[in-house]
Every structure is written in structure tokens, then in C-alpha cells.
Amino acid sequence: MGLPHTSTLRTGLLVLATLALASCSKPEPPNISFAPYAKDYRSKVDLAQVDYKYPIAPAELAKVTPDYLATLDEEQIDQIYARLTAGPIPDGAFKGRILLPRGSSGKYRLSEIVGGFAGTALHLKGLVMEEAGEFLWHGKVFFRNEGVLRNRIEDLSLLKKLGLVEGEPKKMSYGGKETWLLFPAKLYCGQSLFDSRRESIIIDYFFTDEIAGYQEKPDFLAGRRGLKVRDEIRMIRPGFYLGRAYLDRGFALNFTLYDKTTDEKARENFVKTGTVQEDCWPGTQKRTVVAAAKP
């Protein structure tokens, strides 16, 4: 067999290069519309109207990624959250990512809120919270049948430096790996602090000290004697949730939770039907399921 012709080689290389570029290209962003708004709080639109006038097709929700959400401002993230339902209460491990909104001073809102806490929490006042959050937190593990959640922490050095860890907290075995599953919380359906038209999945740390496996330091930090954390989440699609975190009922940040296995398994059916198991009250305003917009 002879060597391929030069033009054939050139064509082959061009095809390979094209495929390589395609594999590195960014995923197609979702086609999501938003109600008009301005910075003035009085311009805030009614969430029921957003839900009714700007429904999001399941095929577009299937394109949403944490990177896409990170490009949005807080009003846009709020409008997406308002158009979601809770979906099923998750079970198992989810990878987490923090999405930090800026406060009125231009600084990240989380730093402003934490700086105002009294007592032991003041240890955090000088900390760059946006960096600390990404460093400490890697996601959450849901124990659905127990109604409990724990947070995946892989490095305690920062908390130790701040004097917020006593001794060496016990690790727990999960997924064949020993890791710190700290800051336990109660898991249930409840009223959203942002959108009371339908329930969200609540992750409540207030009585963290009553949960089996509680370790005073550092677990107290999230509870009633610390930052009084309360999270709530709604489902973007199976395996992917958008969350809101509150400190003493003050909104602090957004976050995402993602489980690749669930997403890949359930995505096709979700795009086709737009329906999922609803463990929480979906409200009286029925969510509109629309077909994807044609390009």
C-alpha cells in the first residue's frame, strides 16, 4: 500500500484540527429570557408574572451550567430561581460551587454580612470570604432517608488557623473514601424565604447540635450560636440544583449542586417530558412547560 497523497494528508489533518477545536469549544448557552428590570428595588418585577410570561423550556434548562449562571447578575439568577420547582429531595453526594453576589458597597455580600456578626463569628471578620468558601467547601452529601445533610470538607487548615477547630474531627466513610462530613443540617420541604409561592428544599443548620455525629468545633459555626445558616434549593434539572444561602435570614450567596450520574441518566426524559417527581408543594401556580425555541 502506497503513502497517501499530500492533499489527502492535508485534508485529514484539517478534519482532526476541526474536531479538536470543537471538543474545546464552550457549550451552547441556554436561550433564557428575563423580565425587564432596573437597579432600583421598586422596579422589581412580580415573580408570578415572570413565571407566567417567561417560562423556560426543559431543553434550555438542560443547557444551564454553573459557568453560565456565574455570568448572570443577581436579578437574573433570582428570576431563574423563581421559575423552578423543588423537584425530588436529593440523595447522595453532589459537587458544589459558590456564586457570590456583590453587596451595596461593591464588596461581596457574604463578607459584609459575616463582618456584622458578634461573638465567635467575629473571628471571620478579616477573612476574604469568597476565597475561603471555595477553599473549604466542596459540596454536600444528602442522606434522604434520614432527613439529614452533611457538607464535604477536604481541608481544615484554614479553620484550624482561625481557632475554629478543636482537636481532630472524626472523618466519615462515604463512597469508599474517608472525608470530613461536617456541619450537619436537617433536610425538609419548607417555605422559601425568597419566593413563597411554592416550597423549596430546606437545609436547616439552626439545630445542628441535635443531629447525631455533631462535633462542637467546627460544627457550631453554622448553627444557632454561630452564623445561623439556612439554605434552600430548587431543581434546574435532575441532578442539578440552584441554591440560596441565608445567614440569620439575611441572603448571603447562591450556589449550585451537581451530580453528573443523575444528570446523564435523567436528562433525555426531562427534556422530552419536562416532568419530575415533586417531593415538595409546587404551589398553586402551575409551572408552564414549553418547547425549546427554534434557532
Which pLDDT score is estimated for 177?
Answer: 77
Which pLDDT score is estimated for 46?
Answer: 92
Which pLDDT score is estimated for 41?
Answer: 66
Q: Each residue of 247-287: pLDDT tens digit?
A: 889 898 899 999 999 999 999 999 999 999 999 999 988 77
- Is it true that the peptide bond before 218 is cis, omega within 30 degrees of 0? yes
DSSP state of 120: G
Q: Could you tell me the CA-to-CA distances from 143 to 89, 110, 147, 188 in Å, in that order?
A: 10, 27, 6, 11
Express as a percent the part of the chain with pLDDT over 70: 75
Own/partner contacts of 289-293, CB < 8 Å, gap of 24 or more, are 289/55, 289/57, 289/58, 290/55, 290/56, 290/57, 291/57, 291/59, 292/31, 292/57, 292/58, 292/59, 292/60, 293/31, 293/57, 293/60
Q: Which residues on adjacent β-strands are paired with residue 236?
A: none
Inform me whether the pLDDT recorded for 143 exceeds 80. Answer: yes
Q: Each residue of 162-182: pLDDT tens digit?
A: 788 888 888 877 767 788 899
Which pLDDT score is estimated for 89?
Answer: 98
Which pLDDT score is estimated for 200?
Answer: 98
Q: Each residue of 21-69: pLDDT tens digit?
A: 444 457 789 999 999 988 776 677 899 999 999 999 999 999 999 999 9
Which pLDDT score is estimated for 8?
Answer: 53
**Taking all residues of the chain, what is their mean pLDDT, rounded to a whole number?**
82
Write phi, then psi, for 172 (nearest 5 degrees). -120, 150
Residue 93 sits at the vertex; the CA angle it makes with 89 and 98, to the nearest 5 degrees, is 90
Which pLDDT score is estimated for 120?
Answer: 41
More confident residue, 157 or 204: 204
Q: Could you tell me the CA-to-CA distances from 83 to 89, 205, 263, 285 in Å, in that order?
A: 18, 26, 19, 10
Q: Each residue of 194-218: pLDDT tens digit?
A: 999 999 999 999 999 999 999 999 9
Inform me whether the pLDDT recorded for 222 exceeds 80. Answer: yes
Only one residue has cell 430561581, namely 81
| CA separation for the pair 104, 186 (Å, rounded) | 32
Query: Dihedral (C-alpha) 183, 189, 191, 193: value to the nearest 10 degrees?
Result: 30
Which pLDDT score is estimated for 164?
Answer: 81
Inform me whether the pLDDT recorded for 106 exceeds 70. Answer: no
Closest CA to 52 of 35, 28, 71: 35
